[in-house]
Amino acid sequence: MRFSPPTPVPRRHPDVVDADLGGDRLLLHRGTRRLHVLNPSAARVWDELDGVSLRSELVVRVADAVGADPVLIRDDVWSILDRFRAAGLAGHDLAEPRPVGPAGRKGRTGRRRPPAGCVRAPRSGSWTAGLTRVCLGTDDPELAAALDRALAPLRGGRPADHLVVVRQRDDGRHEITLDDEEPVVTGSRLAALNRVVALVNDLAAGEADGPALHAGAVRIGERAVVLAGASGRGKSTLTLALAAAGAAYLTDEVTLLGPSDGRPGGSVACRPFPRPISLKPGSFPLFADQLDGQWAQPDRSTPLSALEASWRSTVRLIDPRRVGEVADEPVPLACVVAPHWRPGAACRACRCAPLEAVEVLLGAAFESRDVVAGEVFRTLVRVAATTPVWRLTYGDLDEAVAAVGDLASQAARVEVVSASGGGLVGA
């Protein structure tokens, strides 16, 4: 008697999440961050993957669903399963899901247990980072003063959720400890300063109640424009220019999206996170007069320390309160703009198709968040399906500011006409 080998039970890979975009089914692998688009046949097979049915049982269920003969579609179903497995989307011998983001940080609530010995470090700052609060303790007075000045817009008074302790070592390096995690050692005081500022950003992104994007954001009229994309594309420069032109500042570098009505699956709003605006040396000449004038630190009687002087040669953190209005409430989205500054380029906006819009948003998403898990990924897909997403190439800052204003106005007009039943669905 001949026995056939055991039949594997196909399972979805635990790192894969799905969402619907129009008539397409999108799959995203959290490990590779690769996006897959399924045709209707593959989507039907994917829907039937329950982790307990044999391949032969899947064939019968798919056949029943589409009203086909199981014998005729068997090879097609098995071929789709093989392609799922080759792409890492499904299999029968898969590892457990790996953790996403900084170890131990996801899902924390309430007060944190401070690291051992932290009480000996003086408290020297407390800041609001999105939905969480961060307190700093350090035995380096110069570092404490620099951080207090740099992060002044985020100061606040309620109890901290996280404690960051920075200690000077005998060898001149600094040891940074977040809560009860293992310390990170930096090579210099300047490196420690950059690390703490980045850590505040990371905590804001990691504990948001929705997607966190590498993006700036401003409010134009009653709606938010998000400026998303990779570093060096001109996001912060354009964010600052828009704020200087009269837009209300929401955030820079870290944009937090969440439900505008507090309910998952509803409309999406941009949350205020009024961190300082980060300006790199290449943009200093564009704002030379303001940097030395109205945007300069108000306390000029206190000279800059050597640390701050060194830091200002690599980045200028501008207090948005000295630039113009700062929004303090969540603002519904008008549009997302992916800017790309190129010297001498004509100013040109091109609207993304929905799938391209998903790719733009995923490319801007913080990797430190469990960004592609379940509802967060679906929120990004919902934004791509319902909110205009544009690529904007520009070489002149004034032209870019005018173009973003036009895109925001256009989005507002579309919303008004759609709400009134006029039938306009896009621009």
pLDDT per residue as tens digits for the range 210-266: 889 999 999 999 999 999 988 888 999 999 999 999 999 999 999 999 877 655 556
Domain closes at, from 75, 91, 107: 91
Q: How confident is the model at residue 413 (pLDDT cuts 50, 70, 90)?
A: low
Amino acid at 206: G
Q: Are residues 182 and 231 in the same domain?
A: no
Going by pLDDT thresholds of 50, 70 and 90, the confidence category of residue 366 is confident
Q: Do 250 and 351 have their domain in common?
A: yes
**In this structure, what token pair is assigned to residue 35?**
């996006």
Of 272, 240, 280, 234, which is closest to residue 254 (Cα–Cα)? 272
The SS3 of residue 45 is helix
In a shared domain, residues 42 and 182: no
Same domain assignment for residues 26 and 144: no
Tokens representing 211?
Answer: 């997607």
**CATH number of the CATH domain containing 65:** 1.10.10.1150
Is the same domain home to 253 and 392?
yes
- Considering the domain architecture, whether residues 16 and 164 belong to the same structural domain is answered as no
Using the predicted structure, report yes or no on whether residue 310 has a pLDDT greater than 80. Answer: no
Alpha-carbon span 293 to 114, nearest angstrom = 41
- pLDDT surpassing 60 at residue 42: yes
pLDDT band at residue 346 under the 50/70/90 scheme: very high
pLDDT in the model for residue 397: 94
The DSSP output letter for 140 is -
97 belongs to a structural domain: no
Is the pLDDT assigned to residue 314 strictly greater than 80?
no
Co-location of 83 and 186 in the same domain: no
Secondary structure of residue 283 in the 3-state scheme: helix
The structural domain count of the chain equals 3
* Same domain for 234 and 270: yes
**What would the pLDDT profile of 266-304 be if each residue is shown by its tens digit?**
678 999 999 989 888 888 888 887 877 766 655 444 555
- Name the β-bridge partners of 173: none
Same domain, 404 and 282: yes
Shared domain check, 342 and 412:
yes
Each residue's pLDDT tens digit, 80-108: 999 999 999 998 643 333 343 333 343 34
pLDDT at 389 over 60: yes
Residue 322 gets which letter from DSSP? G
Tokens 């980072």 correspond to what residue? 129
| Percent of residues, the chain, with pLDDT higher than 90 | 35
Q: Say if residue 41 is in the same domain as residue 68.
A: yes
* pLDDT > 80? residue 4: no
Average pLDDT, the chain: 80
Helix axis angle for 397-419 and 235-244, nearest 10°, is: 80
Supply the range of the domain harboring residue 134. 118-206
25 pLDDT exceeds 50? yes
Spatial separation of the C-alpha atoms in residues 407 and 426, rounded to whole Å: 12
pLDDT of residue 393: 96
Query: Is the same domain home to 145 and 218?
Result: no
Name the nearest CA neighbour of 92 among 121, 58, 120, 142. 58
Q: Which residue has the tokens 């008008």?
A: 334
